[in-house]
Copies of this chain bind each other. A is one copy, B any other.
Amino acid sequence: KDVKIAILPGDGIGPEIMDEAVRVLNALDENFEMEWADVGGAGYAAHGHPLPEGTLKLAKEADAVLFGAVGDFKYDTLERSLRPEQAILGLRKNLKLFANLRPAILYPELAGASTLKPEVVSGLDLLIVRELTGDIYFGQPRGHREAPDGPFKGAREGFDTMRYAEPEIRRIAHIGFQTAQKRGKRLTSVDKANVLETSQLWREIVIDVSKDYPDVKLDHMYVDNAAMQLVRAPKELDVILTGNIFGDILSDAAAMLTGSIGMLPSASLDENNKGLYEPSHGSAPDIAGKGIANPLAQILSAAMMLRYSLNRGEQADRIEKAVKKVLADGLRTGDIYEEGTKRVGTREMGDAVVAAL
């Protein structure tokens, strides 16, 4: 076998949508070894931990991880360290996944779902590359204290530290430029360099890294302006490179532009482009087991895996084209159903994608 893929279906609708993604992968005529393991609530139920040792070992030795979704009402009362969501945090940390890739794609057939006018968003295809392990979400020191100085000296205050080190910016910038090379060869770096020292270093290093990618056109945008441009003319953007907190805000806004989060895949990569791939949506335990969940974000996550970790861009293209075809043919699961289209279940949707390959 050429390639080993860890298959972690998780909870809720995870297993049923994962089945369809695996069927699509199997239909590609590649020599993939796939190995299943429990994760999230399923990991806790079977092994007493959301990220069981065997699951982590598998994820580490695999070439890529295809992840479903985790979480279920029945685990809500567990203590924090045993909750299903800890699985994804543990995987990110242990696999050193510092680059989060979140596409916001709106197929013309689904443009009606957006709150934006069709001419503004139809055909949207942008990608946010977000640094995932640094920035103010992790920077030390942080806490509550008596203000040591400033206009409110002596008062109780909360504080956090935004920090980015040069090598940390450099490695995410490389991912940004390499991603842009695989797409439209344009990269928009988002920062707040007119105000923040961290952003000034960010911009300096991104410009330095750009010298290695003369074929990619780099520009810079302040984060408040980027939030405006996402609303004004999102189709003018291609790849956005940004830090953890700005990426958190902008990637959620960009996803919402499409109006159908159930369609969006995502990736988290390490320094060697090994990655974890998962739908942006959750485990939807309320509809689990009914055969009505939308498997397309999971299938598109498999396509991202082929492109970014397994160096099989043509196979990724095949899957994405097949998804476009089933949408053009009018097939819809309940979450994206509109009058005049054909409502299908999870399995039927998977069948159609396999047939369209």
A residues with CB within 8 A of B: 115-117, 120, 136-137, 139-140, 142-144, 147, 149-152, 155-168, 192, 195-202, 223-225, 227-228, 230-233, 245, 248-253, 255-257, 259
| Cα distance A30–B197 in the bound complex, in angstroms | 48
Tell me the smallest distance from the CB of A31 to a CB of chain B, in Å: 37
- CA A319 to CA B168, docked complex, whole Å: 53
Whole-angstrom CA separation of A257 from B227 in the bound complex = 10
Given the known interface contacts A227-B227, A232-B256, A253-B231, the answer about A139 and B166 at a Cβ–Cβ threshold of 8 Å is no
Q: Nearest Cβ in chain B — how far from A85, in angstroms?
A: 11
A149 and B140 form a contact (CB under 8 A): yes
Pairwise interchain contact A140-B144, C-beta atoms closer than 8 A: no
List, in ascending order, chain B residues with CB within 8 A of A223's CB.
Answer: 248-249
Q: With A255-B228, A257-B231 given, is the CB distance from A197 to B144 under 8 Å?
A: yes
The answer, among B160, B200, B227, B232, for a CB contact under 8 Å with A197, is: B160
Residues of chain B within 8 A of A232, CB atoms compared: 115, 256, 259
Sort A-B residue pairs by CB-CB distance and give the 6 closest, nearest first.
A158-B201, A152-B165, A158-B198, A227-B253, A157-B165, A155-B165
A-B contact pairs, 5 of them (CB 8 A): A117-B117, A151-B168, A152-B166, A152-B168, A160-B198
Determine how close the nearest CB of chain B comes to the CB of A348; give it in whole angstroms: 29
A157 contacts across to B, CB distance below 8 A: 163-166, 168, 198, 201
Question: Given A228-B253, A252-B224, does the pair A198, B159 have CB atoms closer than 8 Å?
Answer: yes
Nearest B residue (CB) for A250? B227
Measured between beta carbons, the chain B residues less than 8 angstroms from A250 are 227
The answer on a CB contact under 8 Å between B201 and A227 is no
Contacts of A162 in B (CB 8 A): 136, 159-162
Cβ of A24 to closest chain B Cβ, rounded Å: 29
Q: How far, in angstroms, from A117 to B195 measured CA to CA in the complex?
A: 34
Instruction: Give the CA-CA distance A164 to B142 in the complex, in Å.
Output: 12
Minimum distance in angstroms from A227 CB to a CB of chain B: 4
Distance between Cα atoms of A168 and B156 in the complex (Å): 10
A161 to B223, CA, bound (A): 18
Residues from chain B with a CB closer than 8 A to the CB of A147 are 163, 165
How many angstroms from the CA of A117 to the CA of B114 in the assembled complex?
9
A166 and B155 contact, Cβ closer than 8 Å, known pairs A116-B116, A197-B142: yes
Q: In the docked arrangement, what's the CA distance between A182 and B248, Å?
A: 33
The complex places the Cα of A246 from the Cα of B307 at a distance, in Å, of 34
Which of A136, A166, A256, A259 is packed against the most chain B CB atoms within 10 Å? Answer: A136
Assembly CA distance A202 to B45 (angstroms): 38
Give Cα A117–Cα B196 distance, bound, in whole angstroms. Answer: 35
CB-CB nearest in chain B for A198:
B158
Chain B hits for A196, CB < 8 A? 136-137, 142, 158, 160
Query: Complex Cα distance A304/B79, Å?
Result: 49
A137-B195, A249-B224 known; A200-B256 Cβ under 8 A: no
A232 CB to closest chain B CB, in angstroms? 5
Given A230-B253, A256-B232, answer yes or no on A163-B158 (Cβ-Cβ < 8 Å). Answer: yes
